[in-house]
A and B are shown apart, each in its own frame.
Chain A
């Protein structure tokens, strides 16, 4: 009331502004809190198992097939040549089972010879795969994944990269 030059409706405008900003700030706070709550549920750090795994010394792998349950992986050995096929069914992620064929077959897969020793079947929905992982029946939409194999430079162990899929012509041949 000290400043008589001010128009009479000035306090009312101020109150309206205050309400407007106040409500805006309140709604904004609720929205940001909600967004923050949801964002906190998206993990920033993965505690999953690493994708590059040492599998052991190549010489300790038997000729034919070895199943590695921790990696859900089949490692095949034919003399000094190795390749690895995933045991994760491409339909819904169950672990497929290997069934030995009565006699090994020689086949040509993507232009390279391959000895086929097992077929694969999924217990969940009955998908079937050939020895090179090709899906032949059941609901599986695509072949089993093949993963990249190397030899670790430090201790000579076989190393699989579960994040790196390779074609069916991949072979690791040791000297």
Chain B
């Protein structure tokens, strides 16, 4: 049965001719289900059959699909904002204020864009946590698998996501934006020797000005989303090349060939027909019908549910959570406290405490905590698949015995990052002093 048009009876059908204008939502046969994938642009990157347990809600939590849905939503909600926002120091703040207070539904579109961006950072990070904890970067039994490279792609995509969010942070040109970017770009200038030049290239001068705004704008609207889109396509292609999720491999690995029912055979020989029985040995594989379902509609249905649920959640949150817009950017007054975006607050906590002295030589905390430490974490994450020596059977399962230690260490590091983030969010007051959430901050005179 077709979604849009039913084929008229008597219409000639031939191999390679697909009369359906869309695709068959309830395919009557495996052939029709496979045809839907082959003949449709939107579905051509799907496999025609999917290993059923790969679709489990509680294995992957569909975090990758949710990330992609958020990216799509960010592109869609970014389009109207592109028409409304003016990337100039004189007019940027006013145009965002217009979007917020003058344009019909402007506040809602901006809120959708903002909340989807925050959620995307969180969901992409959680996706990484899931892939690590299930050892899904490990290769199984298939030939030509390069799952470790897909993990590397994923780490690069996480970095792209962070930079996308960070470049978008400057665009409203308010106090929040200006000082977050001041702190962020000064981290780059703390690198010995090349630092100041690097910062000048980033912001197009020595101070954060028009050149900075237009650079961040082009990065935010063209370079980074384009790059992330290309990486996303490559990420999906590698999943297909690697034979689907690691969980599918695992089942194939654990399966043992077993004997099926004895079937009667007929053999034609020169002397006549020999009748008898023969044992047939079949290896159960991911192709086996009892383990797989057609991608259409089982995979497409769940993908649609995740994408639509993500859109719905963001839409609801956006109508309830207002987007902040502080005073216009003022290079003369630093807000007190001045905080980085939440996903960089753990780094801000670290740059605050990592200045150390060796004799008369002082290492700036910004360099250690802002460059060396995150660099080490990203490098270690990138090469981890080659350091992980656990057996192939540890892939595609939550908390296997053989990967217990590394999972605990990973979770411990993740916990430290979460705790630092929470401290930075709710327990840091003026002058970055520590205050419990229930403690009132002291009154600080606005200026000297």
The interface on chain A, measured as residues whose beta carbon lies within 8 A of the other chain's beta carbons, has a size of 33
What are 25 A-B residue pairs whose CB atoms fall within 8 Å in the complex? A43-B211, A47-B210, A65-B448, A67-B448, A69-B332, A72-B332, A90-B364, A91-B186, A91-B351, A92-B186, A94-B179, A99-B448, A121-B431, A122-B431, A123-B431, A124-B338, A126-B352, A126-B431, A126-B433, A138-B352, A139-B355, A139-B364, A139-B366, A141-B364, A141-B366
Q: Which residues from chain B sit less than 8 Å from chain A, CB to CB?
A: 179, 182-183, 186-187, 189-190, 200-201, 204-207, 209-211, 215, 331-338, 348, 351-355, 362-366, 430-433, 447-448
Which residue on chain A has the smallest CB distance to residue B189? A93
> Which of A72, A98, A123 sits near B448, CB closer than 8 Å?
A98
Instruction: Tally A-B pairs: CB < 8 A.
Output: 106
CA distance A100 to B355 in the complex (A): 26
How many Å from the CB of A82 to the closest CB on chain B?
Answer: 18
How many Å from the CB of B194 to the closest CB on chain A?
Answer: 14
Asked whether any CB of chain B lies closer than 8 Å to the CB of A97, the reply is yes
Which residue on chain B has the smallest CB distance to residue A70? B332
Within 8 A of B (CB), among A20-60: 41-43, 46-49
A75-106 CB mask vs B (1 if < 8 Å, else 0) is 00000000000000011111101111000000
Q: Is the CB of A91 within 8 A of B355?
A: yes
Asked whether any CB of chain B lies closer than 8 Å to the CB of A164, the reply is no
> Which of A41, A70, A141 sits near B201, CB closer than 8 Å?
A41
Given A72-B332, A123-B338, A139-B366, A92:B207 Cβ within 8 A: no
CA distance A100 to B445 in the complex (A): 12
How many Å from the CB of A161 to the closest CB on chain B?
Answer: 15
CA distance A91 to B354 in the complex (A): 11
Q: Is the CB of B352 within 8 A of A93?
A: no
Given A43-B211, A139-B355, A94:B431 Cβ within 8 A: no
Asked whether any CB of chain B lies closer than 8 Å to the CB of A140, the reply is yes
Q: Which of A92, A97, A139 has the most CB of B within 10 A?
A: A92
Which chain B residues border A140 with CB–CB below 8 Å?
Answer: 355
